[in-house]
Amino acid sequence: MELYITPFSPPCWSVLLLGRQLNLKINTKSLDLDKEEHLKEDFIKINPEHTVPTLVDGDLILSESRAILSYLMDAYAKENHPLYPRAAKARALIQHRLNFDLGTLYSRFFVYCSPMWNDKATSTEAQRDRLCEALGFLETYLSRSRYAVGDHLTIADFSLVASVSAIDVCYVKLEKYPKVVAWYERCKKELLGYRKLWLVNSRASGSF
């Protein structure tokens, strides 16, 4: 398998963390977005949306980190693995949390924090309020269970912890969300390679 990434991308982190957790052999190919390597013809032929992460596994080309997480579990984990159990209700909740991350938490993080990476743009209080509202939603979900879905790790936690890790360094105080903080600390201890990945990507990105 080949995985196209950029070091400062939280969605890329989630896939790398799951790969470590499942002990998968994944050849990473880092793209420098500042040099517009993601816009080069060779990569656009692979992924016309020119987004990362992008997974190439034989004849399968798959982008969008949350789809990649689900695929890796179906293709390479044992059947009914606790990270992605087959029970319909459990999977429905996992998919909800993944979509909540995609459409709400990570989306609002990106809208609020991305102007900080551009000297000509500024974030607004309204954008910050919407991000804090999303953290409040996550706080509510985590008041129902120790992890994003139930009382053990699932792939929903891999996606959400990558987003929260990025939010954590984006001048947003997490202390207002004690359930989020407690879950975040648990995930940092339980996700294999989390601290190493964080340190490597922090140095590489200059932002995280």
Which residues does the annotation mark as catalytic?
9
Which pair of structure tokens corresponds to residue 135? 């953290």
| Cis status, amide bond into 7, omega within 30 of 0 | no
> CA-to-CA distance for 203 and 195, rounded, in angstroms?
12
Give 175's DSSP letter: G
**CB of 53 closer than 8 Å to CB of 162:** no
Separation of alpha carbons 202 and 64, rounded Å = 22
Nearest to 188 by CA among 178, 179, 198, 177: 198
